[in-house]
Chain A
Amino acid sequence: MAIEYKKSVATFSEFISVEEAEALLEWLLKNPKGKVNFAECTHIHASSLQVLMALKPTIVAEPKDADLAVWLKVALAD
């Protein structure tokens, strides 16, 4: 239901709502080498998506949701 932040990996699960964006930005700024795990994620609100696009963190796992995977790929490609 939300993003769980561990030491160096933020794990996204299911629906990431609009409010998550602020915390995500903060965490990524604080952990410039922080990685993201989308495996269990099914949707990311545009607010968090733009944070991801601005900071381009390393992805440790792509989402199992194929459609989201395609969108994240075009959004986070170099």
Chain B
Amino acid sequence: MPKSILIVDDSVTMLMSVKTNLEMNKFKVETADDGVKALAKLTSGFKPDLIITDINMPNMGGIELIKKIRTLPGFRFTPILTLTTESQQGKRDEGKAAGATGWLVKPVGGTDLLKIIKQVLPGA
């Protein structure tokens, strides 16, 4: 059974690139372009095995989204990765403190992405 992943990012380019990459590797991928839309997806019955989210987004940013996700029933233990830039060391820590499992560094290359997903997602 393929693992499903939710990607949250306000940049369509980023969404497309990660989505294509993951689908090529047999993952089922859903996307959302801000935190509010992501939460709507999660509360309407979609239960991804992994969530990847950007930090800076309109409406609801990544940090707030992570905090909200952790209060949702069924998402207490879901692995979450933040999408950060090289310089956002502080945001990575903030994300971890809010409940993220780890982070990806943009630009996200294919092999790196898969390696990290395999590390945090048993059975992937």
- Report if A and B associate in a common complex: yes
Q: State the A residues within 8 Å of B (CB).
A: 14-15, 17-19, 42-43, 45
A43-B77 in contact (CB<8A): no
A18 and B78 alpha carbons, distance in the complex (Å)? 9
B77-A19 in contact (CB<8A): yes
How large, as a class, is the contact surface on chain B?
under 10
**Cβ of B90 under 8 Å from chain A:** no
B77-A15 in contact (CB<8A): no
**Cβ of B122 under 8 Å from chain A:** yes
Task: Tell me if B's interface is mostly helix, strand, loop or mixed.
Answer: loop
Told that A15-B123, A18-B77, A19-B77 touch, could you supply 8 new A-B pairs with CB distance under 8 A? A14-B123, A15-B122, A17-B77, A17-B122, A42-B123, A43-B122, A43-B123, A45-B122
- With a CB–CB cut-off of 8 A, which chain B residues contact A19? 77
Question: Considering the complex, which residues of chain B in the window 79-124 have a beta carbon less than 8 Å from any beta carbon of chain A?
Answer: 122-123
- With a CB–CB cut-off of 8 A, which chain B residues contact A43? 122-123
11 cross-chain CB contacts under 8 A: A14-B123, A15-B122, A15-B123, A17-B77, A17-B122, A18-B77, A19-B77, A42-B123, A43-B122, A43-B123, A45-B122
Closest residue of chain B to A1 (Cβ to Cβ) is B1
- With a CB–CB cut-off of 8 A, which chain B residues contact A18? 77
Question: Considering the complex, which residues of chain B in the window 29-68 have a beta carbon less than 8 Å from any beta carbon of chain A?
Answer: none
Chain B min CB distance to A9 (Å): 24
A38 and B122 alpha carbons, distance in the complex (Å)? 17
